[in-house]
Structure 1
Amino acid sequence: MSKREAFHSQDDPRRLPISPPGTRRIPGFDGLWAANLDKDNLFTQIAATATHLYEQPPVSSSAQGLERLKAIARLHSMLDAAEAAVLADSYEYLVAETVSQGSQEPLLDDLGEFEEPVEDQSAYFYGVNRSDESLIRSSFVAEAAVALRSSERKVQDKLFFAEGLRHLCPDILDALSVGEITTRSAQEIVKHSQDLAPEDAQLMQQTLLPIARQATDSAVAQRARKMHERLHPKPIEERHKKSAEDRKVIYWHEANGMSVIQLHLPAEKALAIINTVNWHAVRNADPDDHRTEQQRRLDIICDALLDGWPATEGTPLKARVAVTIPALEMLADPKRALADLEGYGPIPVGTALLIAKDAPSFIKVLTDPWSGAAIDVGREKYRPSKALRDLLRSRDVVCRFPGCNRPAESAEIDHIDAWAKGGHTTRSNTHLLCKRHQMFKHVLGWQATYLPDGSVNWRSPNGMICVELPGSVTSVQNFDFEKEQTPMLPTIELNDRVRRVLGWLEPPEESTA
């Protein structure tokens, strides 16, 4: 199997909650006025932005160049929105025309004056139906690939995205057409709308659009995946079991005598393998060993598979796997509750409980039930620095630098306001940064400002602004980036049952009478 086939998208428009082709309304079907209005919405901003870029003088500074790049990025989004709309509408016209022609065939046969068209004879010979939607689609994709000078596989993915934008996520299309969000963020929202009910797909669109206007693509993708898992009509336990049955090993050959092996396996096993290999790669580092860390990782895997696991003393390694199990969600609906596997995302609670069964210790984490953000950790058995570290791992999930997905395991606590300048070691003045992005902040002039809602406002050396949310946040409904408004939470009744599950209620003392 080729790399292209191994990594090809499995997105399917039939899994989107939209009507079948040929039955969907597009502006052109509603008359010339609606078509012209839609055209203006799609292309006016493109023309204005392109004209503005054309009229600007040559770049004379880095800051000016970065602003120009932002405008170009917006232009890319606008063009992708226009391409998606034209692609979806063109396909809709083709299906409608084919259906209309098909409805006329019986009338033509009754006239008895026409011979069977050559195309119909060929269709009969090949055993296909010319009005079959899949055949129409494949022919259109081939034509569009010629027009776009692209491959059919890429155009097939573009058409899936286009139909999702046009017929399911009009608000996302509008935001993309004016450059408010990126194409990647729009793709993630459409992709994770598959298999959802129409009202849940709309909820995802409404929830993620405010995030997409502010956050990086990777942050939107992470939240879209989590939200999809929560809204999916089938419990994740059932889907996980079905997917685990499809576990497999795939390989393909590449140039220069190299090959690639791909493993498709449950996430908890993949993370355990990676953590174990990483632990050995760091532990066995030798100053005289000139191999890179990546080379050592691969050599350890090869040694384990071909020669047996490297000889070790004592008990087998127990790799650290962090799992967050939501107690309140388990109380509300155990079948729908999702746990979170650090470095991966949502997994079935049953799988999480199996992982936790052998855990040597537990950490209680208090989360905001509305936004999902971690806001406190149990401190009974940990020093404050340890408790703070645990809180930041649960709250931030990954490095807090814009667009960085390095897991909390490989990041370090960083003071937003420097310790040397009076900054305190508190949850409101600390976040997790990988070593590379700590260097960006402390050496290259990147500035971070903590906002009351838990987000961090980043400013680049040349004035680029980006708001980065904590990785544990799943909703920004109560966030206000401009006014720096802290979300106001309604009062929650914590009864004895909830307190007991959270470990906040001491067991009743036994009577000595």
Structure 2
Amino acid sequence: MGIRDIFENDDDSHRLPIEAPGLRDTVQTTGTWGAAIQRQKYFTGPLEVLTELNKQMPAQDLAVGLDQLAMLSRLRSMLDASEAVLMADTYELFARGVALQSNGDNRIQAEDEPTPEQLAEMGVFADDILANLSAGYYRVTPHDQEIARSSFVAEASIAMRDTDNHISNKLIMAEGLRHLCLETLNALSAGEITTQTAREIIKNAQDLETEDVHRMEELLLPFAKHASDSAVRQRARRLHEKMHPKPIDERHKDAKETRDLRWWMEKDGMAVAQLRGPAEDIISVVNTVEHHVVSNVDPEDPRTRGQLRYDTLRDALLDGWPEGGGSTLKTKVAVTIPAVEMLADPRKALADLEGYGPIPIGTALKLAADAPSMLRLLTDPWSGAVIDVDRKKYRPPQALRDLLRFRDTQCQFPGCNRLPERSEVEHIDDWAKGGGTNRTNTKLCCKRHQMFKHALGWNYTYLPDGSVMWRTPHGQTCIEIPGSVTSVQNFDFNADRTPQRLDIELTDRVRKVLGYEFEEPPEVDAN
């Protein structure tokens, strides 16, 4: 169980826009010809990959070994797709049997508690007699779909040697893939995406309308075939927030009621505390502690960064802020407010809290109202990429750092989530070899992954659309897309489509929102 799962997992197949079990189309309703096509589509692929792997000799070369690992990863995705199809279809057969029993002439109400003789006269078999008597005792209905579902999960857990929780989550994912997100299922079956990516898509399909789920697939799958699981998770969550039929400010207000502090014991005399609350509060607490730790570095202090964070927070809560008098630190919270979206539809507009993701626009405006300064950003309305920053206040080097901070949002190494504060401006073409210090030759990269490039033989190429293609020392490639990009539909990784500054009509209303009400917007060199 991951740390996020300590708070209850609220995933539920009822929150997916699919029909009730027992009423869904599956392979059993398509006839012999349809069954053959389905078998070829979802079950033959893994055998082909396995056969290909079986033909190859054990890896004698590192690059060959990495290629074989990539094949195994693809095989795992294909097998998980096969498992999802089989699980969903098996449960559908099970649900149909339950529905038939529930609607049959021999259905017995639990509360009736008839005698065995009465049941026998009605043609109910001995096993069914015992089942009905037990149901009456426990006041449950044997043919209730939820009761039956829990029974199926228990049986599947035994068959698959797994926990009920894990199998229940697998079943939700299987139903979502089989009966709703067919494009995601097909991509998983082809080994084009990972199982974790498919899981994120299904998880974030909850509470949405069917057409919105399909739109989410359309936007996410081009990303998912190239990006890391963590990058897909962030984009899926943002799309879910944007497409949710209930405004985020209302959901945020309801969610605040779940704020809580929980703790549990661990071995070796340790315990863990978990704080749940509004993102703006949690980020402020974390940033305040982090700022204090960074600002009070003692080279003689043997404690790790994590130990310093804990000790700072512990001292503040139990002994008062270090040196007394409480904290005088100004918490640093960065918020991006999409002005054009806010003007178009304030109820649908989402702001972005750095280090967290989407928050209600009302919360963002309150944070902005208390901010000591404001940094203006220009984003591409079509892709979401940050393409320019206000340079009137800062000298160009600072403006460039601001641009990368909001364009990339984190270290641009595949799967790395280090925030801008823990990353540095990295030249793609080395400065010593003539590489310029501009937005087309720089990106955010943490020190660890800079070391990968400079010492371990990793390399990367800045592509015309703003993404970065990483190449491992033995030829594996991965495309990392800037974190601010929300759509790659118009991206072509091989064509010159770098997001450019757009000509936007600055009406009086737009000027006011952007802060240009009494001044002309500054002229900015796009490079």
Report what 1:403 is aligned to.
415
Q: Hey, what does 1:61 align to over in structure 2?
A: 61
**1:54-93 aligned within 5 A:** 54-93=54-93
Matched residue, 1:304 = 316
Deviation string 1:123-160 (CA, Å, 9 cap, x unpaired) is 11211111111101100000111111110001011111
- Of residues 205, 224, 246, the one that matches 1:212 is 224
Cα separation, 1, equivalents of 2:56 and 2:137? 60
Deviation string, structure 1 residues 2-41 (Cα, Å, up to 9, x no partner): 9797255321111111111111111212212212211111
Letter in 1 for 2:203: K
Show the 5 A alignment for 1:353-392: 353-392=365-404
Could you say which residue in structure 1 is the equivalent of 2:183? Answer: 171
Q: Confirm whether residue 131 of structure 1 aligns to residue 140 of structure 2.
A: no
Give the corresponding residue for 1:511. none
Report Cα offsets for 1:381-414 as digits up to 9, x if no partner. 1100011111111100010011101111211100
Q: Give the partner amino acid of 1:498.
A: V
Find 1:238's aligned residue among 239, 244, 250: 250
Question: Match of 2:225, SS?
Answer: helix
Q: CA deviation at 1:312?
A: 5.7
Contact 2:15/2:206, CA 8 A, preserved across alignment: yes
What is the deviation of 1:62?
Answer: 1.3
User: Which letter maps to 1:141?
Assistant: V
Aligned to 1:431: 443
How far did residue 488 of structure 1 move? 8.4
Kept in 1, the 8 Å contact 2:101–2:107? The answer is no
TM-aligned CA deviation for residue 506 of structure 1: 3.9
The residue type paired with residue 12 of structure 1 is: D
Is it true that 1:265 corresponds to 2:265 in the alignment? Answer: no
Q: How far, CA to CA, are the matches of 1:110 and 1:405 in structure 2?
A: 63
Q: Does 1:184 pair with 2:196?
A: yes
* Alignment of 1:30 onto 2:39: no
Aligned to 2:48: 48
The answer to which of 110-119 and 383-392 deviates more is 110-119
Secondary structure (helix, strand or coil) at the match of 1:214 reads coil
In structure 1, the residue matched to 2:100 is 100
| Residue number in structure 2 paired with 1:480 | 492
Letter in 1 for 2:394: Y
Amino acid at match of 2:205: S
What do residues 320-367 of structure 1 show as CA deviations (whole Å, max 9, x unaligned)?
111001111111111221110000000011111121122111111000
How many equivalent pairs are there? 508
Q: Identify the range of structure 1 (59-68 vs 367-376) with the bigger mean alpha-carbon deviation.
A: 59-68
Residue 218 of structure 1, CA deviation:
0.8
Match of 2:212 in 1: 200
User: Does the CA contact (< 8 Å) of 2:410 and 2:418 recur in 1?
Assistant: yes
Contact 1:189–1:205 under 8 Å retained in 2:
yes
1:114: which partner in 2? Answer: 123
Contact 2:380 2:502 in 1 (8 A): no
Aligned to 1:454: 466
Distance 2:338 2:353 in 1: 12
Cα distance in 1, alignment partners of residues 502 and 427 from structure 2: 31
8 Å Cα contact 2:106/2:122 also seen in 1: no
Amino acid at match of 2:123: F
**Is residue 428–residue 460 contact of structure 2 (8 Å, CA) maintained in 1?**
yes
Alpha-carbon separation, structure 1, partners of 2:172 and 2:436 = 50
Aligned counterpart in structure 2 of residue 444 of structure 1, from 443, 450, 456: 456
> Which residue of 200, 223, 227 corresponds with 2:239?
227
The amino acid that maps onto 2:38 is D
Output the TM-score relative to the length of structure 2. 0.92
Contact (CA 8 Å) 2:388, 2:501: kept in 1 or not? no
- Paired residue secondary structure (1:261): strand
Matched, 1:16 2:36: no
> 1:180 corresponds to which letter in structure 2?
E
Instruction: Identify unmatched segments of 5+ residues in structure 2.
Output: 109-117, 521-527
Q: Contact (CA 8 Å) 2:460, 2:470: kept in 1 or not?
A: yes
| Mapped partners of 1:283, 1:464: distance in 2 | 40
Determine the C-alpha separation between the residues in 2 that align with 1:260 and 1:81: 36
User: Deviations along 1:37-96, whole A, 9 cap, x unmatched?
Assistant: 111111211011001111101111211111111000000000110111111111111000
Cα 1:166–1:347 shift into 2, 3 Å: same
**Structure 1 length-normalised TM:** 0.95
Sort the Cα spacing of 1:315 and 1:112 in 2 relative to 1 into closer, same or farther, 3 A: closer
Deviations along 1:401-452, whole A, 9 cap, x unmatched?
Answer: 1110111121110000000111001101000001111111122111111111
